[in-house]
Amino acid sequence: MFGRDRIEYKTPEQVRVMRRAGLVVADALAAVRAEVRPGLTTADLDAVAADVIRSAGATPSFLGYHGFPATLCVSVNDEVVHGIPGPRVLEPGDVVSVDCGAIVDGWHGDSAMTVVLDAADPLDVALAETTERAMWAGIAALAGADRLGAVGEAVEDVVDSAAAAGANGGTRFGIVQEYVGHGIGSAMHQPPEVLNYRARDRGAKLKPGMCVAVEPMLVRGARDTRVLADDWTVVTTDGSRASHWEHSVAVLPTGVVVLTAHDGGAARLGELGVQVADLGS
Ligand code: MG
Ligand code: MG
């Protein structure tokens, strides 16, 4: 849907502003993680994030985006992405995916996490952990690759190894294909698309200044999705549970840095043998 020729390459100064937006998003998600529990509504989570973003002097990316009515997307259980916060009360064992975006001085950050509430089904925990691991593997792949297609290859490798280890009780986690990662910068969604699966076309060439959101979505059943009557909420067609993890990442001349992680991705990328690049000042 996006041409490769419209990629926005950022200057180091622009990436540093995006880092500020990324840290606001990281703070908002950390606050939600600290609060989320059974008995709260998804609207309660939205209020927590909205407060963090407004207190930082930033602007929510999602509120008003094509008419979206909230600060967060909160997607529970069989909801994959784009769930609208509201009166739904969270229950023990729920799989809660929280997606957040913020704007600082015109530049965006975008990140998502999945939290499995206490009394969890171990297979739901495996789903969320595998999705997070797939995201980090995709980000690590950006550090050494020549083409963006390395992300989808890394995600598929993690899903394959999880299947080999029996993580989903004998079946392979599904990889959602209708929704993919994207370029990010002066707009939340820009070219290029970042696929979460192997494709013959290995995608755009990786170049310094490219900033992308890496965001795999895995499901316990079939990968097919549909959109609910609210025109936003994406659910699995078979009702199986879903997980979504996302970080915004900058490609610099010296490597990658995760703009929406407090540590820039140092801990998780370090485990994968990737050193985080220096953003400068
Ligand atoms: Mg997002
Ligand atoms: Mg995104």
Q: Look at residue 277 and tell me if it is in a domain.
A: no
What is the per-residue pLDDT for 280?
85
7 assigned to some structural domain: no
Domain that holds residue 80: 12-271
Distance from residue 280's CA to the centre of ligand 1 (Å): 26
- Within 8 A by CB and 6+ apart from 30, the residues are 262
The set of long-range contacts for 51-56, using a CB threshold of 8 Å and a minimum separation of 24, is: 52/24, 52/27, 52/28, 53/24, 53/28, 53/100, 53/102, 56/24, 56/27, 56/102, 56/104
Cis peptide before 192 (omega within 30 of 0): yes
Cα of 82 vs centre of ligand 1, distance in Å, is 9
Whether residue 41 lies inside any domain: the answer is yes
Q: What is the pLDDT of residue 4?
A: 52
What pLDDT score does 2 carry?
47
Q: Give every residue of the chain whose pLDDT is below 50, as ranges.
A: 1-3
Q: What is the pLDDT of residues 158-217, one digit of tens each?
A: 999 999 999 998 899 999 999 999 999 999 999 999 999 999 999 999 999 999 999 999
Contact (Cβ atoms closer than 8 angstroms) between residue 258 and residue 26: no
In a domain, 191, yes or no: yes
Q: 127 lies in a domain? A: yes
- Which numbered ligand comes closest to the C-alpha of 101? 1
- The answer to whether residue 281 is domain-embedded is no
Report how many domains make up the chain.
Answer: 1
Helices (H), 145-207: 149-164
Please provide the DSSP assignment of 78-109 as one string.
TEEE-PPPSSPBP-TT-EEEEEEEEEETTEEE
Gap from CA of 215 to ligand 1 centroid (Å) = 7
Quote the pLDDT of residue 166: 94
Give residue 122 CA to ligand 1 midpoint distance, Å.
25
6 within a domain of the structure (yes/no): no
Residue 246 alpha carbon to ligand 1 centre in Å: 6
- Cα(222) to ligand 1 centroid in Å equals 22
Q: Quick one: pLDDT at residue 23?
A: 98
Domain assignment present for residue 25? The answer is: yes
**Residue 215 sits in a domain of what CATH number?**
3.90.230.10
Closest ligand relative to 214 C-alpha = 2
Centre of ligand 1 to C-alpha 112, Å, is 6
Q: Give the burial string for 196-224 (b: 16+ CB within 10 Å, else e).
A: bbeeeebbbebeebbbbbbbbbbbbbebe
